[in-house]
Amino acid sequence: MARQELARFLRDRRAGLRPHEFGVRATGTVRRTPGLRREEVAELAHMSVDYYTRLEQARGPRPSARILDALAQALRLTPAERSHLFRLAGSSVPPGPSAVRGVRPHVIRMLERLPETGAIVTDAAYDVVAWNPLAQALLGGDFAGGTTNLARRRFLGQGRMHESSSAEEFGHIVVARLRRAADRYPHDAQLTALLAELHAGSEEFREIWETRPVHAPGHRTKTLDHPKTGVLRLNCDVLLVPEDDQEVVLITADPGSPAARTLRSLGARAA
């Protein structure tokens, strides 16, 4: 726990708050410092003034996740500031109540700038929440009109998925990620419904689930049997968007290979 840095961070964020935005009316007493008073922050965070004061003076014990969340709300921290607060306190950053399903605009713009790379963004529940035209041409073409959930496609046969050499491995990858999501978002109703549907509809899913697979995203090579272009040897690389628990999957081919020429052609037509 970085006590001095945590204390400084709390003082700085408290000083940056505007009392009138919290319903604090001006009184005859002149405020000696800008921002909220310590007792006002303590009241907003539902903790004792003494405990909060000790945190600001780098004398307090390591705060619990509940205390840190209360402070983040009281100080109106941004998601990045909340994560920083947890790190200063020596705690892992807990996720929000449910998986993030929106996509940040800069991630969308990145997909649009990759004409010869297929790219999709998946959330913690393996919903495809964004994609570019080349990915749509490569992976089935019905994202816009069919299911966007890759777990449903893989285990329940919903939507078009072309034959791939990595189908078996991908099944384990899907289950590993969904198990991780179930632990992180136990109160996400949409995720709970998806898991119930997969357990009820796929024996393969149930069997893999019981093995408790573990997978770390990274580089993979696979062959894809595309109905229009034939077999393609492709590279898949994953970039993380950790603040949203999302993954950007980039699908490329080795430079100068037949698959690279095919991707260029498919990308031009898709655009």
Give the pLDDT confidence score for residue 124 in this predicted structure: 92
Residue ending a domain, choose from 24, 54, 88? 88
Confidence check: pLDDT of 81 > 60: yes
Residue ending a domain, choose from 57, 88, 119? 88
Tally of domains in the chain: 2
Confidence check: pLDDT of 262 > 80: yes
pLDDT in tens, 160-180: 665 666 778 889 999 999 999
Give the predicted TM-score (pTM) of the model.
Answer: 0.66
pLDDT in tens, 94-148: 766 677 778 888 888 888 788 889 999 999 999 999 988 888 888 876 666 556 8
Q: How many C-beta neighbours within 10 Å does residue 156 have?
A: 16
Closest CA to 245 of 191, 208, 194: 191
Domain check: are 253 and 140 in the same one? yes
* Full DSSP string of 128-173: EEEE-HHHHHHHTS-TTTS--BHHHHHHH--S---EETTHHHHHHH
Domain check: are 217 and 142 in the same one? yes
Give the pLDDT confidence score for residue 242 in this predicted structure: 81
Structural contact between residues 48 and 69, judged by C-beta atoms closer than 8 angstroms:
no
- CATH code where residue 75 lies: 1.10.260.40
Residue ending a domain, choose from 63, 88, 113? 88
3-class SS of residue 14: helix
Give me the chain's average pLDDT, please: 85
> Do the domain assignments include residue 219?
yes
Which structural domain, as residue segments, surrounds residue 149? Answer: 105-270
pLDDT in tens, 1-46: 788 999 999 999 998 888 877 766 655 556 666 788 899 999 999 9
Structural contact between residues 139 and 162, judged by C-beta atoms closer than 8 angstroms:
yes
Tokens representing residue 230 in the block = 């034939």
